[in-house]
Structure 1
Amino acid sequence: MRFSIALIAAAAAVVNAGVFTQKTYNEISISGGVAGNAQEEALAVFSALDLNDLANADEADKDFLNSVNQICNDAEDEAFNPAIDAATGEEADALQRGKIKNKVLKLQATIFKLMIEQAQGEDVTADMATEQKKLDNNISQDEDEAGNASTALSFDATTD
């Protein structure tokens, strides 16, 4: 009987483990390439998340999504903004497009985290509306630049 209980407990621990694994910023970054498809690229980063069962999402997944937000914010402040300030012309424009794609990734992570919290019974309606508005704005900016080069910047950070 003890073996059965131990086996069930071990299986439950595996089932309840988060779906995301630790990643570096450079591994999840969608800033490079071309503008216009940032939403699809961001969704691909988070494709392991079961959107049909958010109520059972693990705390580790919420931590991962929150850390994506944080490291994307840091990349914006510490990498993109100084590089854009130092650049001119098309170089600055391509960096700005990369920054917008970075924002789409950050905001999509935030939306998914809020969706999990909502599915788990938290009232995050106001936060969802605020963040969705920001996400929609950045997706629109990305789509307006569709086909134009987008510059990624290397940044040293890791998710939780």
Structure 2
Amino acid sequence: MKTKKWEELDVRLSGPVLKTLKQLKFIDMTPVQAACIPLLLNGKDVAAEAVTGSGKTLAFLVPLLEILQKRPEKWKTMEVGAIIISPTRELATQISEILEKFLEKIPLLKQVLLVGGVTLKEDAENLKKGVNIIVATPGRLQDILSNYSSINLSLCIKSLMKQIDC
């Protein structure tokens, strides 16, 4: 597959995303990104398998950020637009760190990382501050939903499900 530049996508990426890609020195898309991003930006479901270091994280983060930014209504403080579930704390942390670089240029969106290693109380406090994107491991997300009834993520999740017609 021929290397493709980010600017060559059929769907134009936003300024903040393009600036962050340039800042991170991602000049060309990897094959997995070139294959997945156009499909995701056009509302298609995608399942991809690729080796470590192939660019899978950006293959889903770039379309996710584009979709969340294009929403006509302003995001509310406690309105979740995306939940990214990662099998390990290390991968969740990596995803969160990359996402944070993009969110520096997209201040209307906030994220929270929910993984073991910090107390449930700390995670609950971070959620209460307001969040639009959750990056979590399955166990920690379940712990939060099970043990903190004062955090009403069910309303946020219902809002998310409505947006994607579930």
TM range (shorter): 0.3 to 0.5
Between the two structures, name the one with larger relative contact order (CA 8 Å, sep ≥ 6). Answer: 1
* Larger-gyration structure (1/2): 1
Task: Normalising by structure 2, report the TM-score.
Answer: 0.33
